[in-house]
Structure formats: structure tokens, C-alpha cells
Amino acid sequence: MSALLLLPTVDPAEPLLDAASPLWLTLLKSVAVFGITMTLVPLLVLAERRVSAWMQYRVGPNRVGIGGSLQPMADLVKMLFKEELKPDGVPAFLFTAAPAIAAITALSMMAVVPFGGTLEIAGRSIPLVVADVDIGVLAVLALSSIGVYGITLGGWASNSKYSLLGGLRSSAQMISYELTLGIALLSVLVAASGPEFGSFKLSELIARQAESGIWNCFKLPLGFVLFTIAAFAETNRLPFDLPEAEPELVGGYHTEYSSMRFGLFFLGEYAAMVAGSAVIVCLFLGGWHFPYLTKEVAVGWGGALTQVAVFLAKVLAFLFFFIHVRWTLPRLRYDQLMNFGWKWMLPLSLLNLLFAGIGAALGWF
């Protein structure tokens, strides 16, 4: 238990944001990250249809554009021009705010994700992250938890029994996997703790893996598996899409939504996939680090582009894994998910935390 005392602490005297980064530079990085994420979302929709067709020996989208490349644009146009329906008796503000919460929180998570090391331009060191905050890990946990409010509010505000059941399922599901998610993340902090390390910054967790040359997925394989499973539940993807569950709940929390309100829920799901994959890459797969290819020190344009390319390659590989699992595994029953979350994942996550504490105390990491 003494290893738990080695957890990184946040100095209240230190600023949460890097004051050396000017506002215009932060805005520029924000626009770049937002643009890349919003570009990945329609590409993911097309990739999901293509991969599912490949797995099921189908053709997939092939009518709109060359090889169906413009199908996401056709879907966007369809959602823009569909009739906006709103059931009678619903609280208008909450009904509209719910999909916005789901989308905004997923997109906001990308602000604390470092997609590279430090770029040197004209003597200025520019960190390749929008907000390199000292509480980056806590920000990820907070934003991922707030995203569930959008689903729960959407189910409650729809004035529909099916939607309400979907929102309640999301709340119960969140409790069961958030514990495992948080404990698996805590094991990473324990394994990275030491006399010269005390930060919740994702960039420093990546640098720690780069210095040791061993990624956390090899140090804590059980934690990596548990965090990945919890991330699937976080994004409400198969086999954990019980808040939707079309055969049981018609569509669950978004049954009464249409047009762009439904599109925001759709955007939030895929943006959460991108953010979840990026966080997993940072915590367990070394982030932008790759042996003999990237360095953790300040680099020029060539090194920075290499780091960003390595990071994007890892994220895209994990997104393919997300899609592959969806079209491979069947949906769990609600009671099966609860049993799996409380009777298997939670005890295993505690065991993984104990292993991380013992390893940190004995200097294995």
C-alpha cells in the first residue's frame, strides 16, 4: 500500500495552463485538432460501412461518388433536410441540450491529448497539444463522465418510456464500467510514479514510456485489456450498446430524435471513438513514441511530422479494432453486462492496481 503514496500530486501554486503559449497559437491548434477530428468522423462512417461489408462478403456503399466515397456527404445532406420532429410535452431546452452535451464533451477530450512532442520554431518550443494541463488525466475522466449526462438527459427529456429505459441503462452501465476505467487508469499513474515524477499530464506519461522504451501495455497488460473494454462501454458500442438496443428499446435514448439533433448524437459517438482511441494510445501504447523512429526531445518539422504520423497510425489502427469488434461480437444482455462489470472487471482491476503498486514499490517499472 505504500506504493499508493507515490501517486502524482498537483501543486496548487502551478498554473493549470501553460502561460508561455500565446492565445493565437492555442486557437490555431484548437482549429487544427477540431478539423482533423471532424474529418475523421465522416471517414469513420465510410470505413465502418466498408469494413462491415468486407467482413460480411457484401459490396458496401458504391453509388455516391467514386467507390461510395461521397456517401458520408449524402448522409449529412439527408440529415440537414429531414424534418425536425419534437414530441409534445418535452422540456425544449433539455431535449436540445442533450445531443449537444454528448457531442461537445467527446470533442473537448481531444484538447488535452498530445499528438506529438515539442516543435522548435524560431527559438520557440511549441508543445503539440492544445492544452497541456497538469490535470490532463482528471480532465479525461471528467469529460468522459459528463458525456453520459447527454444520453441520460436525452432519454428522460424525450417523454418516451423506451427512451427513458435507454437513459437509465446508460446510467447503470456507466457506474459499472467507470470504476474499472478509473482503477485501470490509476494503475498507470502508480506504475509511472517515482521520486522525479509527479504529474497528471498525458504528455509526461508518454515521455515516461519513451524514456523507459517499454510501453504500458507491456508493463500492465491486464490494465490495458480492462481499460480497452471499459472504453468500448464508454462509447456505447457493440457489444455494450444497451442504451440503444434496437430489438428491445426501438432506438433507446435517441428514439424520438431526428434531423441534426440525431446527427449530433451520431457525431458524439464517433468523436468519442476517436477520443477514446487517442487516450488509449497515450496511456498504454506510447503515444507518438515509436522505438528507433521518434524522440522525446524538441524536434524540427521532420521529427514533428513523424511523431504526428506515428500517433495517427496508432489511433487509426485502434479505430479499425473498434469497428472490427462491433461486427464480430453479439450484444450482451443487460444482466450479463452487470455481472461482467461487477463480478469480473472490478476485481480484476483491483488486482491489476495491486500488481502496479507492488511493481512500483520494488522498482520493476
* pLDDT-above-70 percentage for the chain: 91
Question: What DSSP assignment string belongs to 151-211?
Answer: HHHHHHHTT-HHHHHHHHHHHHHHHHHHHHHHHHHHHHHHHH-BTTB----HHHHHHHHHH
Return d(Cα 39, Cα 33) in angstroms, integer.
Answer: 10
8 band by pLDDT with thresholds 50, 70 and 90? very low
296 band by pLDDT with thresholds 50, 70 and 90? low
Based on the number of CB atoms within 10 Å of its own CB, is 121 exposed (0-12), middle (13-18) or buried (19 or more)? exposed
pLDDT at 280 over 90: yes
What integer pLDDT is reported at residue 141 of this predicted model?
87
Measured CA to CA in angstroms, residue 110 lies from 19, 90, 242, 277 at distances of 20, 32, 26, 10
- Tens of pLDDT, residue by residue over 23-45, are 888 888 889 899 988 888 889 98
Domain extents in the chain? 82-362
Q: What is the pTM of this model?
A: 0.87
Highest mean pLDDT among 47-51, 66-70, 252-256, 260-264: 47-51
pLDDT at 14 over 70: no
What integer pLDDT is reported at residue 284 of this predicted model?
94
What integer pLDDT is reported at residue 23 of this predicted model?
80
pLDDT at 226 over 90: yes
Q: 277 with 237: CB under 8 angstroms? A: no
- Tens of pLDDT, residue by residue over 187-205, are 999 888 754 556 788 888 8
pLDDT at 1 over 80: no
Separation of CA 300 from chain center = 29
Is the four-CA dihedral 182, 229, 284, 130 of positive or negative sign? Answer: negative
Q: Decide which of 129 and 6 is more confident.
A: 129
What integer pLDDT is reported at residue 208 of this predicted model?
86
pLDDT at 7 over 50: no
What integer pLDDT is reported at residue 313 of this predicted model?
95
Give the torsion through C-alpha atoms of 72, 73, 79, 81, to 10 deg.
-160
